[in-house]
């Protein structure tokens, strides 16, 4: 059962809990959003790469760039497991991301990436929306539970709404108090109620596949 505070948040965003084919928060109210890819200055100068796991080694070569013609953020996916962190902490917010994978002609086709919210700067604490090519659409991560980090995984509770590789997907991750909610392509797929981290970083994951991102937006609540 969703908490009353989250129900009020969903209502404010135009999302009814437990219903299909709801509009995204961005569609419902396009005002008040910050485009994280349009910041001025040097390309991606407000973003920082970090290794996954945090104790790993970061590849010296960058696999992230802005595609000039369309303005997409492109991850080539060929230089190791890492994440791209936007260099501002957010508390209660909605993180809106649109993505599509470049289809793989041969070899492994599992596709893998993630969208982060309220992470620590080093990603030892992480809350991820799992996104694949035609699979995923659930929340999991490692977050403080008492005096240590605990793993949570909502894969068995979530309904998959992720489209196949080559098609655009829209994902929104909403953090409100202790609740983190995931909305994918028209519906809320799952909600986690036990987030004890009140502020953190948003980011995107590179995990071996070429992926394009557009409309990478955040709205503070």
Domain positions in the chain: 4-220
Residue 8 tokens read as 């009020």
Distance CA 20, CA 23 (A): 9
Which candidate, 158, 204, 203, places its Cα nearest to that of 184?
158
pLDDT tier for residue 39 given thresholds of 50, 70 and 90: low
pTM comes to 0.89
The length of the chain, given as a count of residues: 221
Instruction: Tell me the per-residue pLDDT of 194-213, one tens digit each, with 9 for 90 and over.
Output: 999 999 999 999 999 999 99
Domain formed by 4-220, architecture: Sandwich (2.60)
Is the separation of the CB atoms in 139 and 152 below 8 Å? yes
Candidates 132, 129, 105; CA nearest to 118 is 129
Any idea which of 35-39, 68-72, 165-169 has the lowest mean pLDDT? Answer: 35-39
Report pLDDT digits (tens) over 119-166.
999 999 999 999 999 999 999 999 999 889 999 999 999 999 999 999
Distances (CA, A) of 24 to 14, 57, 95, 122: 8, 37, 11, 30
Cα torsion 176, 15, 203, 194: sign: positive
Q: What are phi and psi of 64, to 5 degrees?
A: -115, 140
- How far CA 70 is from CA of 8, 74, 139, in Å, comes to 36, 11, 30
Q: What is the pLDDT of residue 109?
A: 80
User: Phi and psi dihedrals of 47, rounded to 5?
Assistant: -125, 150
Question: Across the chain, what does the average pLDDT equal?
Answer: 90
Q: Quick check: 59 pLDDT over 60? A: yes
Confidence at residue 36, expressed as pLDDT on a 0 to 100 scale: 95
């Amino acid at each position: 059962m969703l908490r009353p505070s989250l129900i009020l948040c969903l209502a404010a965003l135009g999302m009814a809990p437990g219903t299909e084919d709801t509009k995204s928060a961005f569609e419902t109210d396009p005002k008040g959003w910050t485009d994280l890819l349009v910041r001025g200055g040097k390309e991606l100068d407000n973003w920082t790469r970090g290794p996954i796991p945090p104790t790993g080694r970061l590849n010296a070569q960058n696999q992230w760039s802005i595609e000039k013609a369309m303005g997409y953020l492109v991850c080539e996916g060929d230089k190791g497991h890492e994440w791209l962190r936007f260099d501002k902490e957010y508390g209660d917010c909605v993180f809106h991301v649109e993505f599509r994978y470049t289809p793989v002609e041969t070899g492994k086709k599992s596709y893998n990436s993630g969208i982060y919210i309220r992470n620590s700067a080093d990603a030892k604490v992480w809350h991820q929306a799992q996104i694949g090519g035609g699979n995923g659409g659930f929340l999991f991560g490692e977050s403080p539970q008492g005096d240590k980090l605990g793993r949570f995984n909502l894969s068995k509770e979530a309904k998959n709404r992720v489209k196949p590789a080559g098609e655009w997907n829209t994902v929104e991750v909403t953090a409100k108090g202790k609740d983190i909610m995931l909305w994918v392509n028209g519906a809320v797929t799952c909600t986690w109620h036990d987030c004890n981290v009140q502020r953190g970083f948003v980011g995107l994951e590179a995990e071996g596949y070429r992926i394009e991102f557009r409309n990478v937006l955040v709205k503070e609540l």
